[in-house]
Chain A
Amino acid sequence: MTGDVACAEGALAAGCRFFGGYPITPATEIAEHMSGRLPDVGGTFIQMEDEIAAMASVLGAAWSGCKSMTATSGPGFSLMMENIGLGVCTETPCVVVNVQRGGPSTGLPTMGAQADMMQARWGSHGDYEIIALAPCSAQEIFYQTITAFNLSERYRTPVFIMTDEMIGHMSEKVVIPPADQITTEWRPKPKGRKDRFLLFKPDENGVAPMPAAGEGYNVHVTGLTHDEKGYPVMSVEAQEEMMARIKRKILGNRDDIIMTEGHGLDDADIVLVSYGISARTSMAAMQQARAQGLKVGLLRLITVWPFAEDHIQRLAERVKGFVTVEVNLGQIHLEVLRAAAGRAPCHLVGHSGGTIISPDQVLAKIKEVF
């Protein structure tokens, strides 16, 4: 099946029961598949009037007690940013898939890119932390969609799957395991007296329990800066406390959230840093380089946000340099540069989108700079 269909199947396996969408190439197949499958499992699909509405409906469904999601591409991702911010501020679990295509604007609708990575990090206004995963195959997007739902429920936050047209439209073998081999998580539920419940008072792990509408908690949920009760408070102190909580629950659980995969890192002189489709390019380049006697390793970012800066920092102490491989003009490259902090040179193999990067380009860069 294609990556898009595998993503939809992963969502269903994770327990997603609401999809609010809007058609957009190259993510439409996710909506199409969900529209056919959700009614069978007691869920609901709705095609909204635009991506702004789609994202709003996803948040509403999350507060009704459903696991909910949407899927889009660059232009739709831009429109969703407003309510993604509401999701972050109100600590609403949900999953947003971005099947990236070339931008800016309408760009290259049918041709892939990885150029929305910084938009995923900073696209909505204000400071915040976000979780973003980047699958590199149809099989992995199946599993990562489940992981994305689990992380969103565990940390009460929107989680992004930052895939790309290449993965989304690629047909590969996907094994769907029996349901009893899939772990699914639910948002922590409140205990104790309903009238004393505080909607944003975190437990030890930094995450507050979350009831659904209709359960008798009389919750107030607002995009205004709010206190632990959820009430708007316009003060420097309330802002600081809310922001600290939103950041702490992600950054304080970095070890649980950040997933990477290392290949040949033990003896590597040169480390390729990559994710998504470009990680496969990088893998091929690494193998070719190794065959030619070059000690090249690969750090594949499975979690892109929060960024694996500790991994880069540790490697920067002992390697000769980094080459970031991504289909954009240097986004995660800037993060590698920041984390390496001058201890190792950082180079980029990237282009402005429309096709994958060939392993030859990566190999040529390695030979050119090291």
Chain B
Amino acid sequence: MSATAQASVMAAPEHPLEDLIRSDRIPHIWCPGCGIGTAFAACLTAMKASGIDLQKTCMVSGIGCSGRAAGYVKLDSFHTTHGRAIPFATGLKLGNPELNVVVFSGDGDLFAIGGNHFIHAARRNMDLTVICLNNLNYGMTGGQVAATTPHLARTTTTPVGNPESPFNLPLLAWASGATYVARWTVLHTRELTDCIKKAITKSGFSFIEVLGPCPVNYGRRNREKPLETLRLYRDQTIIRNNADPSDLEVDFTKKVVLGEFVDKERATCIENYDRTCRPAL
């Protein structure tokens, strides 16, 4: 390497998220073409931009590819059991209400094995920001059908097509009582980052669904190359803020609606607890 080239390497600018990444754990496990890294970067960018006290900010994940996010963030971070990120996060927040608690996990983790915890945390209006990377299947275990897999899609456990129907996640979040609900794809990083920033600074239960490609496990079996998935995200989506939650099914044969769907105020679990259980204090 010439002296000039070496000097330019030395002078390479630091990654803008360097201070929030555990660089000593890189390389990460995510596959080429995976959408998790983009959603993760949007989350960290939003955390920095939000102005919250990062020392008082925790990330909690469950199990799965997205569940590994907690292992790469240089904050207090908790990689818990499968589906249990939300109740673990609930304990963290109730034990020390000064903490900002962000749950970052996948669709299988949050909505199949952890579905019960999701609806109850939303009902309580626990002060958590829940970010779900939805890649339509179980990636970590090699591409099995999930509660979010489209009807007739192929996975290793639905070899001739999924006989079941998927959840509409924003509808579920809205019906359960979430006070902030949005959906973006990893192609919409600016909007996504803005919404995460808003969700983190807003009190109450916030939910953001992020559609992201899983080319290795989902795309491969459904004749969808990584770039084609991104094209779908561009061509087959429509941004409609405040859309009716029942119109938010993920079906790329029609337009998939993105945007900010719910943004309302409701007393949080902790506010209600203090008001009800210790009014004298």
A residues lining the B interface (CB < 8 Å): 17-18, 20, 39-40, 42, 44-46, 48-50, 52-54, 56-66, 68, 82-83, 85-86, 212-224, 231-232
CB distance from A65 to the nearest CB of B (A): 6
Pick the contact of A221 from B74, B77, B90, B278 — CB < 8 Å?
Answer: B77
Pick from A42, A49, A214: contact of B120, CB under 8 Å: A49
Write out the residue numbers on chain A whose beta carbons fall within 8 Å of the beta carbon of B240. Answer: none
Q: Which residues of B contact A52 (CB under 8 A)?
A: 83-84, 87
**Is B23 an interface residue, CB under 8 A from the partner?**
no
Q: Could you name 7 residue pairs across A and B whose Cβ atoms are closer than 8 Å?
A: A57-B94, A60-B60, A62-B91, A63-B76, A214-B99, A215-B55, A231-B71
Shortest Cβ gap from B103 to chain A (Å): 11
Q: Please state if B91 and A220 are interface contacts (CB–CB under 8 Å).
A: no
| Complex Cα–Cα for A85 and B79 (A) | 13
Docked complex: B57-86 residues within 8 A CB-CB of A: 58, 60, 70-71, 74-81, 83-84, 86
Contact check, B76 vs A57: say whether CB atoms are below 8 A apart.
no
Q: In the complex, A45→B75 CA distance in Å? A: 27
Closest Cβ–Cβ distance, residue A343 to chain B (whole Å): 43
In the bound complex, CA of A50 to CA of B120 (Å): 10
* Cβ–Cβ < 8 Å partners of B117 in chain A: 49, 53, 56
Chain B residues close to A by CB (< 8 Å): 22, 24-25, 55-56, 58, 60, 70-71, 74-81, 83-84, 86-96, 98-99, 116-117, 120, 273, 277-278, 281
Q: Inside 8 A of B273's CB, which chain A residues have their CB? A: 39, 44, 46
Q: Which residues of B contact A217 (CB under 8 A)?
A: 76
Q: Which of B86, B91, B117 has the most C-beta atoms of chain A within 10 angstroms of its own C-beta?
A: B91
Contact in complex: A53, B87 (CB < 8 Å): yes
B91 and A56 within 8 A (CB): yes
Task: Specify which chain B residues have a CB less than 8 angstroms from the CB of A42 in the assembled complex.
Answer: 281
Q: Inside 8 A of A49's CB, which chain B residues have their CB?
A: 87, 116-117, 120
Complex A-B, nearest 6 residue pairs according to Cβ-Cβ distance, in ascending order: A60-B91, A64-B95, A57-B91, A61-B95, A53-B87, A56-B87
User: Are B95 and A18 interface neighbours, CB within 8 A?
Assistant: yes
* Cα(A119)–Cα(B78), bound, Å: 27
B71 touches A232 (CB 8 A): yes
A20 touches B91 (CB 8 A): yes
- Distance between Cα atoms of A63 and B94 in the complex (Å): 11
A215: chain B residues within 8 A (beta carbon): 55
Please state if A213 and B99 are interface contacts (CB–CB under 8 Å).
yes
B92 partner residues in chain A, CB cutoff 8 A:
60-61, 63-64, 213
- Chain B positions within 8 Å of A220 at CB level: 22, 70-71, 77, 79
Q: Which residues in A have their C-beta under 8 angstroms from that of B55?
A: 214-216
Most buried by B among A18, A46, A83, A216: A46
Q: How far is the CB of B114 from chain A (nearest CB, A)?
A: 9
Whole-angstrom distance between the alpha carbons of A40 and B279 in the complex? 10
Known: A222-B79, A231-B25. A66 touches B95 (CB 8 A): yes
B77 and A65: CB pair below 8 A? no
Q: Are A50 and B116 in contact (CB under 8 A)?
A: yes
Pick from A54, A214, A231, A232: contact of B96, CB under 8 Å: A214
A231 to B88, CA, bound (A): 19
Check A223/B25 contact, CB under 8 A, given A44-B95, A66-B95: no
Contact at B99–A64, with CB atoms within 8 Å?
A: yes
Q: Which of chain A's residues has its CB closest to B79's CB?
A: A222
